[in-house]
Amino acid sequence: MSKQGNFYRLRLYPLLDLVLAMVFAYYSPYVTNWVAPLFGWQQGHYFNILLASPFLAGAAIMAVPIILRQVGFYHKQNLQRPGTAFRQLLAFGTYYLCAMGVFTVATETAAYNSRILLTNLVGITLVIYLRYLVTRSINLRRPEKFRRQVILAGDEDVLAKSWEELPEHWRRSFNVVGRFTSPAGREQELQEMIEQHNVTALFVFGGMAAHHDFAPFIEQCEVQGIDVNLVMRNRLSSSLRVDLNEVGDTRMVVFSSTPEVSWGMIAKGVGDRVLALCALICLSPLWLVAAIGIKISDPAGPVFFRQRRSGLYGRVFRMWKFRSMYVDAEARLDEIKAKYGNEMNGPIFKLTNDPRIFKFGHFIRKTSIDELPQLLNVLAGDMSIVGPRPLPVYETEAFPKIEHRRRLSVKPGLTCFWQIEDRSDNGDFDNMVAKDLRYIDEWSLWLDFKLMLRTIPAVLFGKGAK
């Protein structure tokens, strides 16, 4: 993306949305009285949010571009499809509505003032969507005289294919004035093209190999202040993120395919512990039920079961569960595999009606009560509420492909796509890994929230639990 595009995406659009939110917040009382007859509301006095509580209102308005950034509204220079942008704004509205609901209940806000807040939320969302449509239309209809002059370089087959695969609306920002498939002895030709067409950028296709092949071109452009864009090969993961890191006077190109550190990640860590603590308190009676049931079913063994599991990047931790199997269960694993086989087609072992599970164990597994002690792991920071399930160390060591280890690049969790959509109903190990990688690639706070909501019916109806 160009420097200009980055400026719009990271600076101008958020600032513009902030100003629009502030303007609408100021006029929201007038809009509320104007629409009141349509909804049968009683008109009230002109309660101005900004004047009544400037610090609180200011903080709420400042949060608008921050939340929009978290839901991905600025990720594509505001050139995403209108439907995608609308869904992102709905996610923004949901976050804002939840915060507004907590505020109105906590402060016992008057009904009329609550309506002003609601009008403000709906109005800000619509105004920002209108701003998006206008700026998107301007970007897509940019006159040719405002386009940047660029040169393409790379292997002939890779260059043609890769350039055409880039989004058309993005390519409209450029005029291609030259193409080079070989740098050999063509530095003078390149220079003449740069001077004749006022070239602003060079795109090199083919990844690191092309960077080496076209090193003379790259250096020639760099010394003149012309942007050089190194286009990575398509075989790299679509989730790959490239950053530049500076350590002292040394620069490093960092390739990353995991969620970057952000306010959303920090909020996830804090929220995990808060939710785990609340769940421990609210569900404490079930702990007593589980403990009594386990002791009655198998008095010889302990209530809890601890197992070595693979956590973040494979770091080993002890995961807690309520014991649902007889005490010799792990020692009999190979025997059970030989006798009954495995319902999973990979290193993970699953078996319906496993004879090592005692009767009450089937109940706590079916209801997921056996997973409750993992809330202690969440409090300890070894696990998250939402994330790929942590596997036993011996199963991780048996992964058939090194690509499967990317599921270890985020903190493991209590629930994720596979636990909600398949669980033991689908014995395909590759399917489970694919769903875990989908979570990593698509991660957002909004996704975590949706998965937590979907987990509730999955647990209540025991989907896939055995």
Q: Flag the least confident range among 9-13, 321-325, 431-435.
A: 9-13
**Residue 357 DSSP class:** B
Q: How confident is the model at residue 452 (pLDDT cuts 50, 70, 90)?
A: very high
**Residue 406 DSSP class:** G
pLDDT in tens, 291-311: 999 999 988 889 999 999 999
Contact (Cβ atoms closer than 8 angstroms) between residue 323 and residue 369: no
Query: How would you class 417 by CB atoms within 10 Å of its CB: exposed for 0-12, middle for 13-18, buried for 19 or more?
Result: buried
pLDDT in tens, 142-198: 666 667 899 999 888 788 788 888 877 778 778 899 999 888 888 899 999 999 998
Q: Flag the least confident range among 67-81, 179-193, 352-366, 448-462.
A: 67-81
**Spans of all domains in the chain:** 3-140, 144-236, 263-460
Helical packing angle, 445-460 and 429-442, nearest 10°: 140
What does pTM read for this prediction?
Answer: 0.63
**Tokens, residue 420:** 């909600």
Q: How confident is the model at residue 41 (pLDDT cuts 50, 70, 90)?
A: low
Contact (Cβ atoms closer than 8 angstroms) between residue 335 and residue 398: no
Query: How would you class 289 by CB atoms within 10 Å of its CB: exposed for 0-12, middle for 13-18, buried for 19 or more?
Result: middle
**Residue 392 DSSP class:** B
**Tokens, residue 377:** 């792991």
Of 290, 289, 285, residue with least CA distance to 305: 290
- Higher pLDDT pick, 36 / 19: 19
Mean pLDDT of the chain: 83
Looking at residue 431, what is its pLDDT?
Answer: 87
Q: How many residues does the chain have?
A: 466
Whether CATH 3.40.50.1380 fits 144-236: yes
Contact (Cβ atoms closer than 8 angstroms) between residue 32 and residue 116: yes
Sign of CA dihedral 442, 448, 453, 455: positive
